[in-house]
Amino acid sequence: MSRPITLCTAQWADLSLEDTCKIAREMGYDGLEIATWGQVDVHKAASDDNYVKQVKDTLAKYGMGCWALAAHVAGQCVCDNWDVRLDGFAPADLAGKPEAIRAWAKEEMITTARAAKKLGVKVVTGFMGSPIWKYFYSFPQTSEEMIERGFQEVLEVWSPVFDAFDQNGVKFALEVHPSEIAYDYYTTKRLLDTFKWRDTLGLNFDPSHLVWQGMDPVMFLEDFHERVYHVHAKDVAVNLNGRNGVLGSHLPFGDVRRGWNFVSLGHGDVDFDKICRVLNQYKYTGPLSVEWEDSGMDRVYGATEALEYLRQYNFDPSAVAFDAAIKSDQ
């Protein structure tokens, strides 16, 4: 049952599909989680069978599988409150137009579902954005009504998008993450409750975002395992030294003064042994997708090392009890 180990191409979106496949094959990966702002054009994939064949042929040429498309950029724009940062995610002619950006993002996600179907992919990973992220610290005072309106807005905006996902037989896996409507344990539960546990909406389990917030990713996985549609393998190192904190101090990723940083697998605090044992217990057979993020390390070196590290935990569960051979027949 050893799961395929894939490379998330979000951090490799500057490369073509051909070049990414070549590098991933040389490193030893089994496949790709393809970023929709990088190596695949979802509009062509949704409408052009020749393009779909080209993508599939390129993957096959290098022995690469694809079990998920990553749509974090467009997904963020669906329900985020606009500021100038979103202009960098949307087409240039939509800059400064919040309503137009949201409309573009919704249509982009619908198109992504259609593209996924054409490519034979059953899961789209990504973000949903949040109209209430700025309220995460309740000052000025934040009322329950304000929070509930935010969740209801997400329900209203995303429901027709999920209708399109259902029509195409594709599921959406939200990466629980700061700046999202669901960023920790209780906001995840509240989001799933808001959608009445609609089967379309699941999780892209990424333990790195939980660890630095002080949560136990193993407990999170145990409680939400039925909704885990995809898994990111990413590590984080917490380094609280009395001067820094978990909020980051507006220091860029990689700055050693920060209270935590994303690091290459095996260099941080995520316990992948425990995580893989839980995945085995609940029979998760999907990919482990290495989302490699480490500002202090060369990416080819790091992604190669990360794959080697993850392999040691990607073991099958035992088919027999370890003490079965010592039981008495009497």
How confident is the model at residue 329, as a pLDDT? 62
Topology of domain 5-236+268-314 in CATH is TIM Barrel (3.20.20)
Decide if pLDDT at 1 tops 60: no
- Report yes or no: 40 and 89 within 8 Å, Cβ to Cβ: no
For 34, 120, 305, the CA distances from 53, given in Å and listed in that order, are: 16, 11, 32
Percent share of the chain, pLDDT over 70: 97
User: Which candidate, 108, 153, 98, 164, places its Cα nearest to that of 130?
Assistant: 153
- What is the rounded distance in angstroms from the CA atom of residue 134 to the CA atom of residue 142? 10
**Structure confidence by residue, pLDDT tens digits, 105-163:** 999 999 999 999 999 999 999 999 999 999 999 999 999 999 999 999 999 999 999 99
**Structure confidence by residue, pLDDT tens digits, 47-92:** 999 999 999 999 999 999 999 999 999 999 999 999 999 999 999 9
Percent share of the chain, pLDDT over 90: 95
For 78, 86, 100, 103, 273, the CA distances from 96, given in Å and listed in that order, are: 15, 9, 9, 13, 46
Q: What DSSP string runs through 248-283?
A: -TTPPTT-TTSSEEEE-TTSSS--HHHHHHHHHHTT
**Structure confidence by residue, pLDDT tens digits, 239-278:** 999 999 999 999 999 999 999 999 999 999 999 999 999 9
Biggest alpha carbon distance in the chain? Answer: 79
How confident is the model at residue 2, as a pLDDT? 80
Place 321 in a pLDDT band, splitting at 50, 70 and 90: confident
Q: Residue 283 has which token pair?
A: 């029979």
Average pLDDT value over all residues in the chain: 96
How confident is the model at residue 330, as a pLDDT? 58
How confident is the model at residue 319, as a pLDDT? 78
How confident is the model at residue 328, as a pLDDT? 63
How confident is the model at residue 260, as a pLDDT? 98
- What is the rounded distance in angstroms from the CA atom of residue 202 to the CA atom of residue 128? 12
